[in-house]
Amino acid sequence: MKEVKLIKQNGMMKIMVGDELLEPAGYMTYNVDGDQFGAMEEMGNRIVFFGAYATDMGLNCLAGSKAWGPHYYLDYNTFDFTEIDRILEMIAPHGKGPYIIPRVYFCTPSWWERDNPDEVCRVQSGESARESFGSKKWRNDMWSAVKALIDHINDSVWKDLIIGYHVCAGSTEEWGHHGHKHQNDMADYSKVNQACFHEWLLEKYGSVEAVNCAWSSSYKVLSEIPIPRVVERTHALGGIVRDLKREQHVVDYNAFISDQIAETILWFAEKVKTYTGRKLLVGCFYGYINHHVDAAHGSYSVYKILQSPDIDFLCTTNELGRMYSFYTAVDSIRLHNKLYICEGDTRTSLTTCLGEKLPKAEPDNTYYKIGGWVAPDFNTSIGNLKRTSLLALTGHVGLWWFDMWGGWFDHPEYKKIIRMHQALCAAQTEGPIRAEIAVIVDEGGVKHFQSPDTLRYAVKLQLLEMGLVGAPYHIYLASDLPNDDFPADDYKVYIFTHFCRCSKDIENAIEQKLKRGNKILIWTHFAGFERGALTDYEVAYDLDQPDLMCQIRQADFPIFTDPFFPKTTGKFDEYPNQALPCCRFVSGTEENAYILGRGTENREPALLWKQFSDYASVYSLCPCLPARVLQKIVIQSGVHVYSLTRDVLMAGGKYILLRAMTEGQKRIHYPDPTKKIVDVYTGEVMENNDSLIDFWLKNDEVKVLEVVD
């Protein structure tokens, strides 16, 4: 067995297998009979992922898909690896072929769930919802299945092709609770999970008396403490932010969910890492902190995962439409010398309904026939594939092309983009294009919020708006700010999300590292709530007064007209078309501040700028600042803006992508007029007229440029 490890080269984490360097790009499909493996290897993809299913259950409860194929865990100590061998032989006949990372999915098999009714997850109504992450028996039994798979492969002709294992459980393999088909029926109310919660409370507080003191409760023993009910978890007594005097029990349970899932992942990762002699990579799905924005999903212990020596790579899905954003803090992942692999879940004109390619897996509903499963046209498909490639390249991260049920990329022009990605990845450099904007995510802040749409606006949609500003940005965890290796002086603008009651260490790091050097700090949506010194603004949340109405027109948010998202129905004059609950500035706060924006109805200050001797602090009550406002702030910071037309821009290393949101004349401002700028896909040398590159794009057309040394 060759030793496999990660190395950092040109700002990107790459894979070393013995003395062979692999670009972090590969291929994955659920349809192993689609005859795609050989074609993808011919296009340069030297890494293949495939599903190894210990369970006979479908991926999740909500979509209702059935199992993609046969499972191998038939009963205690009973395994059938016939399907595993068949897949491996197709990928690498007679042990000759690409490198392989099995995606091992150990959700509960149906027989195990029947045998262990006290060990499964329960929703509040009492119905079962597959594995409980609190069950030690589930862990041990599923580890026996994973270990048996490793043993089988180690005794096969494919042993030397395996470079890692991708450990998966939970809904859609992504380590969330399966919940139930009713979306408001949350997990996990099983007795085994309740006992796990009690252990967590004992570790945090030390005694039931300390819990009572923190919660203003009167429990006699820990075993009396219930899991908060659904209504408590989905709604806050104070409207948006939880009242610590009355809702500390919900805040604690929210934190527990993420800690428990992260600890479960690390338990399996340590087992696999140790059992394979620490010679292979281990990875997981985790950290959807910019997407779900809901404490119930359990994605908010990313920093704990990154500190572990047993996890080498993390993965998430990403946006489907022409807009883009990463769902996690990809730059923190790289800062910790781990690999982030972007799932290239990219629809094309060849995308078909699930039932046409894998009828055995089609659910008894229309989930896979509508919405994002509808194929785009050819030109949009070209733009989406280029976006997926450049998202990984400019982000300096890995990628697998996700040909979900096969045939999505079977067109010469699509294959050209996939083949080109390998060459572009090998040629990518750390500079000259570098981000000067940092988005800082305080993952711990989410536990203090109810699950409102406004929090999603403040995070997910804010990042999509960032893509229209015309300048690249990086995403970090706030927990990295206190660390010595955090590159604080690399950035001129900082945008803070999820910031609600951050830790003192983070607060001190902001004071010492960021409030200097003429940086601009931008705060939104309850940031620094109850801690005015952090943001330099005193804000209050007063339910007795009318909520602020923020007037932002649909034209400022092109995502709502994106073909990959459901069309907005009815009149949409304001965004959103109801009052936004948000903080208000305390009276007098606007003194010595520049008022950049006011509320539509009450005309109160809603966007303020305070200038200090060595930095500026900007606070927006609106949860999502539109690109046109952000762009004006960014320009004043001295950040280099490559495009002013508010089209989608990705830039990093030596590559620039511009995707037109409207048809018209486009311009890229590259700061060095001596550099040669080339169209990546046509080879055309662009006229660099005094640092300005002009060209015309049709709506949704994509231009990809390379800065040539």
Same domain, 50 and 95: yes
Pick from 472, 513, 518: which is nearest to 492 by CA? 518
Question: Are 194 and 227 spatial neighbours (Cβ–Cβ below 8 Å)?
Answer: yes
Same domain, 620 and 662: no
**Distance between CA atoms of 463 and 459, rounded to whole angstroms?**
6
Same domain, 342 and 483: no
Pick from 383, 317, 324: which is nearest to 348 by CA? 383
Same domain, 561 and 619: yes
Regions of the chain with pLDDT less than 70: 180-185, 452-454, 542-581, 600-602
Q: Looking at the 3D structure of the chain, how many domains does it have?
A: 3
Same domain, 611 and 666: no
Q: What are the residues facing 707 on neighbouring strands? A: 677
Same domain, 470 and 546: yes
- Domain boundary (404, 427, 450) is at 427
- Domain boundary (637, 662, 683) is at 637
Task: Tell me the CB-side half-sphere exposure of residue 115, using CA atoms within 13 A.
Answer: 11
pTM given for the model: 0.94
**Distance between CA atoms of 169 and 666, rounded to whole angstroms?**
45
Same domain, 383 and 447: no
Same domain, 536 and 460: yes
Determine the structural domain holding residue 659 and report its residue range: 648-708
Same domain, 613 and 655: no
Answer yes or no: is 632 within a domain: yes
Environment class of 274 (CB within 10 Å of its CB; exposed 0-12, middle 13-18, buried 19+): exposed
Sign of the Cα pseudo-torsion (329, 627, 385, 681, in order): negative
**Distance between CA atoms of 630 and 634, rounded to whole angstroms?**
6
- In the prediction, which pLDDT does 548 show? 53
Answer yes or no: is 226 within a domain: no
- Domain boundary (587, 613, 637) is at 637
Same domain, 273 and 307: yes
CATH number of the domain where residue 704 is located: 2.60.40.1180
Q: What is the pLDDT of residues 478-524, one digit of tens each?
A: 999 999 999 999 999 999 998 999 999 999 999 999 999 999 999 98
Place of tokens 């910790």: 336
Answer yes or no: is 19 within a domain: yes
- In the prediction, which pLDDT does 454 show? 67
CATH number of the domain where residue 594 is located: 3.40.50.880
Answer yes or no: is 240 within a domain: no
Same domain, 53 and 98: yes
